[in-house]
Structure 1
Amino acid sequence: MISSNKLIAAISLAVVGGFVAEFAKPQMPEGSNPGYMTLISAAVGLCVGWRIMGPRAGRDSSIGLGMLGVVSLVFWGLAVFGTIEMLRLAMRRRFDEPVEALEMIVTIALKYGQYLAATPVYITLAVGIVISGYVTNFAYRRWG
């Protein structure tokens, strides 16, 4: 069911995910191809906002709600990018066993997590916590 708080949470986390991806790209190694990193991050933000953050609007404080959304965005974003990169490597037959491929998801996700260790990314995440939590709770109080 469509609700204003789900829609606002999805849009706000999609914007945060897109900005975080744009600020993380310069941290990547020289010559790497980020591909659709911004669009994938925005799509993950859309899903996390709709499924996790939106239904909890009105129950938590704005900061708590924003923290839940942004931490979930980072976790699921790293999981998605780890899975995508693992599948790319698996198609090139880089793994001998399926368990090795599944273990590589965590390794790749941690490597991508290092790209988030930059001041612009931290600032974007902090601002995203405040704004996304506030506008989602505002939408819940106003139209929910």
Structure 2
Amino acid sequence: MPTAGRLAGAIIFALFGWYLAGLTIPFFPESNAPTFWLPVVSFIGLVVGWRVCGSRAGQGYNPAVGIGLTSGAAIAFCAIFALSFNKMISNALRNRYNDGTMEAVIDVFNQMIEYAILFTDVTLIATVLIGGIVCAWITEFFGQRFP
């Protein structure tokens, strides 16, 4: 059911996803991010804002801290998964997996570990955590004011 909290969460977290995607571009090799990176992370933020944060809006500002941390971690996990899945598909189309589909599935998780190490930066991690909390507080504000 659409509510103001869900709408606010979707918009705020979509903008936050766009901001995070822009921050991660220098971490790619030669600062060359894939062309789909900005829209995909923004869409992930939209979905997380609607489903995770927006659906829980109206519970108070203290629970919003945990919801914001969860939402930030969900955006980071899903973005790294999408990047790794895209890499696995491109490797599969180049016939790099000789042992079957299980090798490709396992490689997704190996790619996720490599990208997580690539994106390991104190500033980026702090931005994900603090930004998630701030976005959840804004969502909570609209969730309480416009039920």
TM-score (normalised: structure 1): 0.89
Aligned counterparts, 1:29-40, within 5 A: 29-30=29-30, 32-40=32-40
Distance in structure 2 (CA, Å) of the matches to 1:22 and 1:142: 31
State which of 62, 72, 75 in structure 1 corresponds to 2:74.
72
Q: What is the Cα-based RMSD across aligned positions, in Å?
A: 1.7
- Given that 2:85 and 2:108 are in contact with CA atoms closer than 8 Å, whether structure 1 keeps it comes out as yes
**Structure 1 residue ranges (4+ consecutive) displaced by more than 3 angstroms after TM superposition:** none
User: How much does 1:119 deviate?
Assistant: 3.8
| 2:45 paired residue number | 45
Which 5+ residue runs of structure 1 have no aligned equivalent? none
1:15-54 Cα distance to aligned partner (Å, 9 max, x none): 2211211111111112744222111110111111112221
Does 2:109 correspond to 1:106? yes
Query: Is contact 2:67-2:136 (8 Å) kept?
Result: yes
1:94 match: 96
- 1:88, distance to aligned residue in structure 2 (A): 1.4
What is the rounded CA distance, in whole Å, between the counterparts of 1:14 and 1:120 in structure 2?
A: 20
Equivalenced residue count is 144
Correspondence for 1:17: 17
Shift of 1:100: 0.4
5+ residue gaps, structure 2, are: none
Q: What percent identity do the matched residue pairs reach?
A: 25
